[in-house]
Amino acid sequence: MSGNEIEISGLGKVFGQGASAFRALSDINLTIGTGEFFTLLGPSGCGKTTLLRTIAGFEAPSSGSLRINGEEVAAKGPNARPVNTVFQNYALFPHMSVAQNIGFGLKMLGKPKSEIDATVAEMLRLVRMEAMKDRKPSEISGGQQQRVALARALAPRPRVLLLDEPLSALDLKLRKEMQSELKRLQSETGITFVFVTHDQEEALTMSDRIAVMSAGRILQLGTPHEIYHAPADRFVADFIGDTNFLTVPVAASDGQAATVTLPGGTQAAARLPEGMIPVTGQEVTAVVRPEQATLMPAGQGEMQATVGTSTFFGTDTHIHLTLSDGQGFILRRQNATDMASPEPGQTVGIGLGAGTLRILKD
């Protein structure tokens, strides 16, 4: 990664006017590095697609600046930006063959025919669609259309490739295949990818960095590791992976770490988010990932709980527990062959390793 491909500052977008105005994006500040696989993650309606469409040029920002490769492009149309989009439903031209679709961008750029043919052949090879080059989009499968859409967007060698939930229409197996295909294409071409998805797992597995969005704002910006292990707030913690939220009183706090009183009375150290200094006795929200807690015999561990239902997931089992003060807790245990699920109603201990407990900002 060298240099900044996209620099967004103070970007806002308002749809409509007056009373019916809808603020889709508020004060977006974002820098995406060259060659980065960057993901915009959030639930539907969070503004991620609007942000992508603004980068592409389909929406004009209401405020703020948008630079691509150092050049201000906020006032430019989509055809004047070195950016191509892979649309959610591919948007392949139905009246053109696969090869014509892929060559369209180059043709519009006025490239000579020999160059177009060479690039189209190269792209067909890259997405392994050589045999289908004369077919119409309606004559190939969804996964193949997806690959053609990718090739069409990559053919003009854009500086940035924008992908709007490109895998959401595919079935699970094909989606997994395309995920690794996308990673391969990105490393082979070195093009900056901006990827929009609502699938947190997809975001975690593919991205160099993720921006988690909600209600038109970026809530947290970081690597998948940071986002998962150090969620900035309750929304991010809830949206990314499964999380146990515990409402607990603070026993002591020194600005770096705090001690909280867990249900049952045990005191445990918990990490504090930056800039938060809770007072003793204040109720805070502490989070624990289900896989970071361990099941222990009754009497051991930091908390005691009653077993509810267990759900078998193949690789692991989710055990639903009720803590001594009535709060729910989910524990995720990796399955081994000889492991029996605990009986409902049984009392068990929950072990929390060092550093697993984390306090969230209000």
* Chain contacts with other proteins (rule: CB under 8 A): 56-58, 77-79, 83-85, 87, 89, 91-97, 104-105, 108-109, 136, 152-153, 156
DSSP states of 96-134 as a string?
S-HHHHHHHHHHHTT--HHHHHHHHHHHHHHTT-GGGTT
Question: What's the min distance (Å) between Cβ of 263 and other proteins?
Answer: 52
Residue with smaller CB distance to other proteins, 123 or 357: 123
Tokens of residue 198, six digits: 């609502």
Q: For the beta carbon of residue 361, count every other beta carbon within 10 angstroms.
A: 14
Beta-carbon contacts of 347 under 8 Å, excluding residues fewer than 6 positions away, are 298, 304, 305, 306, 307
Q: Which is nearer to other proteins, 137 or 301 (CB)?
A: 137
CB of 40 to other proteins, least distance (A): 18
100 CB contacts (<8 Å, ≥6 apart)?
93
Q: How far is the CB of 57 from other proteins (least distance, A)?
A: 7
Cβ distance to other proteins smaller for residue 86 or 250 = 86
Q: Smallest distance from the beta carbon of 245 to other proteins, in angstroms?
A: 40
The DSSP secondary-structure symbol of 290 reads: G
> How far is residue 269's CA from residue 273's CA, in Å, rounded to a whole number?
13
Contact 260, 357 (CB under 8 A): yes
The smaller minimum CB distance to other proteins, of residues 84 and 119, is found at 84
**Three-state secondary-structure class, residue 196:** strand
Rounded Cα–Cα distance for residues 348 and 282 (Å): 28
In angstroms, give the least distance from the CB of 126 to other proteins: 17
Helix (H, G, I), strand (E, B) or coil at 95: coil
Helix (H, G, I), strand (E, B), or coil: what is residue 242?
Answer: coil
Name the minimum Å distance from CB 92 to other proteins: 8
Q: Which residue has the tokens 């229409």?
A: 169
Check the CA dihedral 10-201-186-117 and report its sign: negative
Q: How far is the CB of 309 from other proteins (least distance, A)?
A: 44
CB of 169 to other proteins, least distance (A): 13
Q: What is the CA radius of gyration of the chain?
A: 25
End-to-end CA distance of the chain: 35
CB 15 within 8 A of CB 61: no
**Residue whose CB is less far from other proteins, 64 or 156:** 156
Of 52 and 210, the one with the shorter C-beta distance to other proteins is 52
- The token pair that represents 340 in the structure block: 């029996």
For other proteins, the closer of residues 83 and 330 by Cβ is 83
CB of 36 to other proteins, least distance (A): 21
Nearer to other proteins, 107 or 176 (CB): 107
Are the beta carbons of 147 and 181 closer than 8 angstroms? Answer: yes
Minimum CB distance to other proteins smaller for 85 or for 220: 85
